[in-house]
Amino acid sequence: MSQPTIESILQEKRQFEPSPEFSQAARIGSLEAYEELYRKAAQDPAAFWAELAEQELYWFKKWDQVLDWQPPFAKWFVGGKTNISYNCLDRHLTTWRRNKAALIWEGEPGDSRTLTYAQLHREVCQIANVLKDLGVKKGDRVGIYMPMVPEAAIAMLACARIGAPHTVIFGGFSAEALKDRLQDAEAKLVITADGGFRKDKVVSLKPAVDQALADNAVPSVENVLVVQRTKAAIEMVSGRDHWWHELQAGASADCPAEEMDSEDMLFILYTSGTTGKPKGVVHTTAGYNLYTHMTYQWTFDAKDTDVYWCTADVGWITGHSYIVYGPLSNGATSLMYEGVPRPSNPGCFWDVIEKYGVNIFYTAPTAIRAFIKMGEEIPNSRDLSSLRILGTVGEPINPEAWMWYHRVIGGGRCPIVDTWWQTETGGFMITPLPGAIPTKPGSATKPFPGILADVVDLEGNSVGANEGGYLVVRHPWPSMMRTVYGNDERYRRTYWEHIPPQNGQYLYFAGDGARKDEDGYFWVMGRVDDVISVSGHRLGTMEIESALVSHPAVAEAAVVGRPDDLKGEEVFAFVTLEGHFEPSDDLKTELKQHVVNEIGAIARPGEIRFAEALPKTRSGKIIRRFLRNLASGESVAGDASTMEDQSVLEKLRQGS
Ligand code: WT7
């Protein structure tokens, strides 16, 4: 039930049209309207985006040039001046939205808070002033390591307001992973909380910050701002650590938004790739603002009366683009929830929908699969009639999960938007527009207007209908990543050189395999590189291997994904030991914990298998294909004759 197979996709013939009432009320209300928009945008993408930028955003100063494309480096709205915090807050204050709910927050222990646009603006301004008082200047990076509380969004908007790029580090990452990211970004300040609530437990955060900063490991960090959430006893380092509420109380609520250059860095967000070190994906101000604004508006068919809920964590790109910036730029009401479904409260999501009358609900296939297992009586006993659009993101959704989502959660009436995109793309790339594009279970359908997506072979030629290939984008778009922080070469190599440019045309290489059917619908098949997806979280196998070999017992490690019913994939590690270490269950447990300490619980191996040797080619490359087969219990496919030592495979198969 995990990843869809080619066979199941080719057999998938079901198609769902939006109801006439839905389409009539929608912003983009017919396939013809979408096609017309798409055609217009494809003819002249720069003109298309310029028109929207003019209509949809506030500018302190208009741009001189829409697009400056020196492949693979793009600049959008060159010379323009704007501020995304202004677009998300200030401009709504002169309208009726001033007193509209901007953020609705539901805390895990049942506490809750609503912030109107005016209130959110006030708090953002205060915290922006706090940051300034602590010496944060335009261009300084700020690390944010927080639970899912409104202060996380406030912190991001406060940074954006004063032009200090944020780097949000998911609260589930370990102290070690936090340190790596703070070091790479050379953060000047860290915003955190004493802890948060997760699955009926209090989890701590501040101690991980202390550990990351110990021994002056991140010398750039001067101050730590701490939100009081759990009231757990924590240590406050005098001169370095400050309570958020204490400084906020004395801060002025007057803080005009800094006039930012279109191309000023807005944030860095670290993501896993095919090498050991996570990459800092860089996004800039204006293009990101415009693109997340438009994709939110059209894909979720934004209505001013909607309560919109995205269940992601703000530590991921989904939270950045579709909890904070996209919705708030549109003046929407965005709901944030601190909790997650768990055995003690399997219906908590449906309770939140019922309590707030949620209209748009956006979650991940891994969550949907977990709900299927818990049984439909749970959602059936709640009132979900407020829902009008459902969304999914993170990995390919298997058609059966799609059908369940549509029937049980959507009552058969809600269009499902299956949004394909990445940290690097900033916003939705391939997605239905719900009033216009009929959906097919398991397909992200068609590219957003202005996105010239294609499926190609390694030479960059389009492949035929239903032939597999690589997912690429043929033209720059406003919210594309600008570079890997501090490493232009890595950016070029990772995204622009797998497929050689043809006649000077560069193709953005997404790292996903896909096919396009006879109707031009995209079916994303999953990663084609050494990246695996565990519960929709992207993990580099090399990153986990590096973590394993940093343990004194480990000589060599190879990590692959094993298909898993709930998580999509699970981490499966093959490990060879240093001479004087003996395989044991205790050592397995220790190694699993070691990975948790190095990266975080999301990377904990589901299984570790000790091996005497790993299968390698004569040139010494680990043959992961064999390991993937072994991990999933399949027979080892393909030609093993290139293998250095044939007996290695046999031993691995029998391994412990
Ligand atoms: C990778 C990006 C973008 C937000 C969440 C993940 C996979 C994402 C879909 C989808 C099939 C999907 C791809 C992509 N992916 N959405 N709707 N259908 N696959 O962001 O951590 O940057 O991961 O997630 O493999 O490359 P991310």
pLDDT tens digit string along 268-298?
999 998 777 889 999 999 999 999 999 999 9
User: What distance in Å separates the CA atoms of residue 334 and residue 152, rounded to the nearest whole number?
Assistant: 13
pLDDT of residue 1: 42
3-state secondary structure of 111: coil
Residue type for 331, please? G
Whose alpha carbon is nearest atom 2 of ligand 1?
Answer: 422
Q: What is the mean pLDDT of residues 436-458?
A: 98
Q: Which of the listed residues 422, 494, 525 should we mutate to test ligand 1's pocket, taking the one with most ligand atoms within 8 A of CB?
A: 422
| pLDDT interval class at 6 (50, 70, 90) | low
Q: What is the mean pLDDT of residues 402-421?
A: 98
- The pLDDT of residue 10 is above 70: no
Of 324, 322, 331, the C-alpha closest to 303 is 331
- The pLDDT of residue 577 is above 70: yes
Does residue 510's CB lie within 6 angstroms of at least one atom of ligand 1? yes
Which of ligand 1's atoms lies nearest the C-alpha of 419?
A: 17
CB 228 within 8 A of CB 245: yes
Helix axes 150-162, 117-133, angle to 10 degrees: 60
Burial-class residue 182 by CB neighbours within 10 Å (0-12, 13-18, 19+). Answer: buried
Q: How many of the other CB atoms lie within 10 Å of CB of 464?
A: 10
Of 146, 52, 172, 156, the C-alpha closest to 103 is 156
Query: What are the helix (H) ranges across 516-616?
Result: 541-549, 585-598
pLDDT of residue 648: 75
User: What distance in Å separates the CA atoms of residue 638 and residue 628, rounded to the nearest whole number?
Assistant: 12
- What is the model's pTM? 0.95
CA angle 544, 549, 553 (to 5 degrees): 130
Host H or E run for residue 380:
helix 377-380
Percentage of the chain beyond pLDDT 90 is 89
pLDDT of residue 120: 99
- The pLDDT of residue 5 is above 70: no
Distance 484 CA to ligand 1 centre (A): 18
Mean model confidence pLDDT for the chain: 95
| pLDDT interval class at 643 (50, 70, 90) | low
Peptide bond into 147 cis (omega under 30): no
> Of 78-87, 268-277, 530-539, where does mean pLDDT reach its minimum?
268-277
pLDDT of residue 9: 66
Q: Identify the bridge partners of residue 559 per DSSP, sorted by sequence position.
A: 573
Could you identify the residue written with the tokens 């989904």? 318
CB 306 within 8 A of CB 391: no
| pLDDT interval class at 7 (50, 70, 90) | low
11 or 303: which carries more pLDDT confidence?
303
pLDDT of residue 22: 98
Spatial neighbors of 312 by CB under 8 A, at least 6 apart, are: 318, 319, 322, 323, 362, 364, 393
The DSSP annotation for 518-530 comes to: TTS-EEEEEESSS
Does residue 4's CB lie within 6 angstroms of at least one atom of ligand 1? no
pLDDT tens digit string along 34-72?
999 999 999 999 999 999 999 999 999 999 999 999 999
- The pLDDT of residue 656 is above 70: no
Spatial neighbors of 17 by CB under 8 A, at least 6 apart, are: 438
Does residue 106's CB lie within 6 angstroms of at least one atom of ligand 1? no
| pLDDT interval class at 503 (50, 70, 90) | confident
- The pLDDT of residue 228 is above 60: yes
pLDDT tens digit string along 385-411?
999 999 999 999 999 999 999 999 999
Distance 394 CA to ligand 1 centre (A): 4
Distance 316 CA to ligand 1 centre (A): 11
pLDDT of residue 640: 57
pLDDT of residue 645: 63
Q: Which of the listed residues 508, 524, 535 should we mutate to test ligand 1's pocket, taking the one with most ligand atoms within 8 A of CB?
A: 524
Whose alpha carbon is nearest atom 20 of ligand 1?
Answer: 422
User: What distance in Å separates the CA atoms of residue 185 and residue 241, rounded to the nearest whole number?
Assistant: 20
Does residue 177's CB lie within 6 angstroms of at least one atom of ligand 1? no
CB 165 within 8 A of CB 132: no
pLDDT of residue 624: 87
- The pLDDT of residue 144 is above 60: yes
At residue 81, φ and ψ (nearest 5 deg) are -125, 125
| pLDDT interval class at 311 (50, 70, 90) | very high
pLDDT of residue 638: 58
